[in-house]
Amino acid sequence: MLHLILAGGGHAHVIMLEHLIKHPCPNLQVGLISPTKKQAYSGMLPGWVNNTYALEACQIDLQQLCIRAGAMFISGKLAGLDTKQQEVILDDQRQLDYDLVSLAMGSQPNQFNSPSSSSHWVAMKPFANFTQQWYAWQQHLNPNQAATLTIAGGGAGAVEIALAARQVMPCRGLAAQRQIIIYAGPKGVMNGFSLRTRGLILKSLQQADIRVINEYIDVSKPLHQQAPNDFYLLVTSAKPGLSLHGSELALDAFGFVLVDKFQRSISHSNVFAAGDICSRPTTFLQRSGVYAIRAGKQLAHNLLAACNSNTLQPYWPRRHNLYLISCSDQTAIGSYGINLGFFSINIAQQHGLKKTSKKQLQYIYSIVENWAGISEGGIHHQTLWANPAQVTDLIKWRGLSPFGQARNWAGLAYEEQLGLAKAALENAPSAPIDWMFKELKLSRRHEATVLEFKQWIEILSQKHS
């Protein structure tokens, strides 16, 4: 009987447990180490902060999953790894043998040190500590005293939490002021996202009266003016939650476990890792739940394959994903003016499907119609907008890859077809169709395509006549 230790209840291990429920593996003894029986799902936490969801609804019951998967739930925290003796060491000094170990312990904000009595900063992770502290703060907020939420970090998580907090800390209607401040660092909020998305985010923050300061705040300095009503939250970028330097595992410069395309340590073939805890020597891995979940599928396959001496499957992360940033006012900011069919394909791909079906499209339509702006271009595809106020009848031509992902011309939103026609008429008034073929990098001139392009120009001309 082989011993497999899963350290941490990260997304990939949840997928692994699910896999074991469906495909039990009798020659394997599996143990999951986790400091908490339940694991909060980060994507839903802003919804908990703004009181949309109860905490229970955002939690994955790891212990129950273990029972169903025939795995042992081991309450505790990994403190170290002895790769020579093939032992995991827990924080209470217990030592457990393994034949194979997999790490999915996530990350922590990079300026987070062990909680000390002098530090008033609460780290967003571990989530269990954050939810406890946040709940206690909200319970004790005195409505007659001013309160400030200060957030260090300007990424999507920080923005979502600030906007969610505004829902429970309204600017108006209370006897005392409720301030929310984000220290985003010199590069500003949502660094790395498109200018358009960043503009929309800044507008949402402004509307919610959230102050953004493009500087770092020194979280190591003691706070001079802290009032009992204030809360200081760390949502800075990621560092490993546990130093594995003594383990002899190959680590990157920041201490993340280096893995190959099979999610296997590049130095130890019986150690695997997935999610925020790992890095690849040559491929950039985003630290997000989406990537952790996707890697989970291959990790599950590979752990079982490694036990049974079968072939491992590589995991190639997608270079781009669709991100929806919840504004907590029943709107979200994502890719702007996107063809609904293209959006649906994106979602299908996130679930490992190659294409989307009419049924899926209708289902997605029924979900997004509650908050999105949807315009119907006659017989053309529907276009999805971040909210109804943004719907316009023409989208300026943005090139083939405005979201960082190449599109087929058939995936253009109706309003963007008109934008393309406009650009063609402006750039090549005597040969607009030729210009469109060139711009769309189409080498073959099918008659049907020529007709379609002509139609776009006609519709545009009629609109302006």
Ligand X SMILES: Cc1cc2nc3c(=O)[nH]c(=O)nc-3n(C[C@H](O)[C@H](O)[C@H](O)COP(=O)(O)OP(=O)(O)OC[C@H]3O[C@@H](n4cnc5c(N)ncnc54)[C@H](O)[C@@H]3O)c2cc1C
Q: Residues interacting with ligand X, by CB under 6 A?
A: 7-12, 33-36, 39, 42-43, 45-46, 77-78, 104-106, 124-126, 157, 160-161, 235, 241-242, 275-277, 287-290, 292
Smallest separation (angstroms) from ligand X to the CB of 256: 11
Smallest separation (angstroms) from ligand X to the CB of 44: 8
Minimum CB distance to ligand X smaller for 130 or for 456: 130
Residues 255 and 239: beta-carbon distance below 8 Å: yes
Minimum CB distance to ligand X smaller for 190 or for 457: 190
Q: State the Rg of the chain over Cα.
A: 25
Q: What is the sign of the dihedral through the CA atoms of 241, 245, 249 and 252?
A: positive
Smallest separation (angstroms) from ligand X to the CB of 264: 16
Smallest separation (angstroms) from ligand X to the CB of 124: 4
Smallest separation (angstroms) from ligand X to the CB of 8: 3
Q: What is the largest CA-CA distance in the chain?
A: 80
Minimum CB distance to ligand X smaller for 131 or for 360: 131
d(CA 25, CA 39): 24
Minimum CB distance to ligand X smaller for 42 or for 50: 42
Q: How many helices (H) and strands (E) does the chain have?
A: 12, 24
Residues 162 and 154: beta-carbon distance below 8 Å: no
Smallest separation (angstroms) from ligand X to the CB of 463: 38
Residues 34 and 8: beta-carbon distance below 8 Å: yes
Q: Is the peptide bond before 126 cis (omega within 30 degrees of 0)?
A: yes
Instruction: Describe the strand order of the beta sheet including 338-339 as a list of residue ranges.
Output: 338-339, 382-385, 373-376
DSSP state of 282: S
Minimum CB distance to ligand X smaller for 91 or for 209: 91
Minimum CB distance to ligand X smaller for 287 or for 438: 287
Minimum CB distance to ligand X smaller for 277 or for 457: 277
- 132: which 2 tokens? 């406890």
DSSP state of 433: H
Minimal CA–CA distance to 101: which of 292, 251, 290, 299? Answer: 299
Smallest separation (angstroms) from ligand X to the CB of 299: 10
Q: Reduce the secondary structure of 87-120 to three states and give it as a string.
A: EEEECCCCEEECCEEEECCCEEECCCCCCCCCCC
d(CA 394, CA 460): 9
Interhelix angle 414-427/432-439, nearest 10 degrees: 120
Smallest separation (angstroms) from ligand X to the CB of 16: 11
Smallest separation (angstroms) from ligand X to the CB of 106: 2
Smallest separation (angstroms) from ligand X to the CB of 273: 9
Query: Phi and psi (nearest 5°) for 425?
Result: -65, -35
Minimum CB distance to ligand X smaller for 43 or for 199: 43
What DSSP element (H or E) covers 366? helix 358-368
Minimum CB distance to ligand X smaller for 285 or for 424: 285
d(CA 59, CA 40): 4
Minimum CB distance to ligand X smaller for 104 or for 384: 104
